[in-house]
Chain A
């Protein structure tokens, strides 16, 4: 059974926040402006982003609300009736509740009765896991339509109070702790949704899903991006091993960390995975019309370009398209938000027959995911 993306939607909370306003929203830790902010923002080149918290760091939209808003927009734009939806797959790095799964909460908001649900847990690639499961479920002809939603509310992890409370952490001990601060100036909030159906939309363009593949390297590489440990190699405790959650927070075990030293592995494994798909004949670089790559920072774009060119599998830069710079890095939601705008933007001409290659790497413990879509019209 061939499966198509027949509608998309997205939701970005609040106004676009410029580079200089970011610290007003997230807050200056202990009243002191960060000494790393400008440097990191220069490297990632993100100009505007959105947050679901206000300047008092109060939550303006829950993660469930954002997911629901993106899903509603996607359904409003769809020709298919809601009753056709047999499955809802929802991805997020962290839902509003640790339990139950976020798909339950989103289903409730959308009032979709008696559907099959799936919550995928991970970081950036969790949306691709959800998409693949929904795709397979349609391929097996268990459902006629499935809704896939991804939403991220990273700012709740990045607000100043989190860092101020971590009084005995590596962040408090060091003058500059790059690994705990790096993502503060990278990630922001938003949600995206895709509707999958077993036939193209009756009007306009649909995206046929050609293939989805993923390669995880956790068996070989250490954890790179995580929440839940204090970030000291000798300390094996995770957040629930502390006597109280307050102690875990104090020790920095609830801070989001990324070991940036390990990040080069992600570019390498990303290129390796793509070369593997080329070798297997799954992807042909020459046939790619549009390349939508989720990279967290402009810095990494050049590295990927350079390695692919060296291998003779380069995709010319004019075929790359992203909205990272204006919508921010919204983790697992990024690709869905990107696809939604890609189909509507005037910046690029999308026509029937075009092949769209997408790449979503996850630094957590090095999972690289790829998919190819073909633009079709009924």
Chain B
């Protein structure tokens, strides 16, 4: 049991992360962009603590039922996630073939993640048909609508801002939530596999992210569009978690 204690070995994970960053040297525009993206992320992460369902993780009152509600509400976005990512890939022209390849391989990694999430739901005591029958909640509609709109535009590099938020959240789920949820609810690892699996892959994804950011974020305009899209996605993602449908449809 992790009783909130901090690791004292010091080194391990920190050292790994540093060497991962070392692989990519960012151009000055990409560096400024990353600085601003980090602030968008930190604000997003802080404001997630205000979302009633997630606040229960912080306060220690999160229950099995809350976990089921969470999974039911997030599944639609996970399914749609693979759609906007593949759409994004197809919107890049021949001058952007490198980024297109990166995005395609990313989509392959994740496009069936929702099946894992469904298994988690059943393992936490939910009925499969209940999660399959869920519609997008109001926030998921807004988020999906925005992402499909942006990804349909030619060379939508601003969607790096969307990936930044969504990948960051994957890492947060794995590192901050999964174990804590098991501890609070008494559920086994089987119920948080979607969260933990996501974290395992996300460090590779971040590496690719930095490389892509470095190649496409080469002027002020690019910085602005990437940062703005990250802000919109952060707000709509939080909306999705605020607009939770508590009942089974």
Contact = CB atoms under 8 A, between A and B. Distances in A.
A298 B10 CA distance: 10
B42 to A, nearest CB: 4
Interface in B39-60: 39, 42-43, 45-47, 49-50, 55, 58-60
A176 B192 CA distance: 26
B14 interface: yes
B39 A279 contact: yes
A276 B35 CA distance: 10
A42 B10 CA distance: 10
Contacts of B47: 220
Interface residues of B, number: 32
B5 interface: yes
A278 B35 contact: yes
Contacts of A279: 35-36, 39
A286 interface: no
Nearest to A307: B38
B35 A222 contact: no
B59 A233 contact: yes
Contacts of A312: 26, 31-32, 34-35
A176 B49 CA distance: 27
Contact of B10 (A275, A278, A302, A309): A302
A269 interface: yes
A43 interface: yes
Interface string B87-111: 0000000000000000000000000
Contacts of A42: 8
Contacts of A307: 38
B4 to A, nearest CB: 4
B201 interface: no
A234 B8 CA distance: 31
A282 interface: no
Contacts of A352: none
B129 interface: no
A144 B26 CA distance: 49
A348 interface: no
B180 interface: yes
B60 A233 contact: yes
Contacts of A275: 35, 38-39, 42
B6 A268 contact: no
Interface stretch (A53-61, A145-153, A258-266, A325-333): A258-266
A221 B6 contact: no
B40 to A, nearest CB: 10
A260 B5 contact: yes
Interface in B13-42: 14, 17-18, 21, 26, 31-32, 34-36, 38-39, 42
B39 A178 contact: no
Interface in A255-299: 259-265, 268-269, 271-272, 275-276, 278-279, 298-299
A36 B8 CA distance: 12
A302 B17 CA distance: 12
A310 B34 contact: yes
A103 B200 CA distance: 53
Contacts of A302: 10, 14
B219 interface: no
Given A222-B58, A261-B180, A310-B21, A268 B10 contact: no
B247 interface: no
Contacts of B60: 233
Nearest to A275: B39
A217 interface: yes
Given A279-B36, A311-B35, A312-B34, A261 B4 contact: yes
A222 B58 CA distance: 7
B8 A264 contact: no
Contacts of A78: none
B61 A233 contact: yes
Contacts of A276: 39
Given A260-B5, A278-B35, A299-B8, 5 more contacts: A233-B59, A259-B4, A260-B4, A302-B14, A303-B14
The 8 lowest CB-CB distance pairs between A and B, nearest first, are: A272-B42, A261-B4, A43-B8, A312-B31, A260-B4, A233-B59, A311-B35, A178-B3
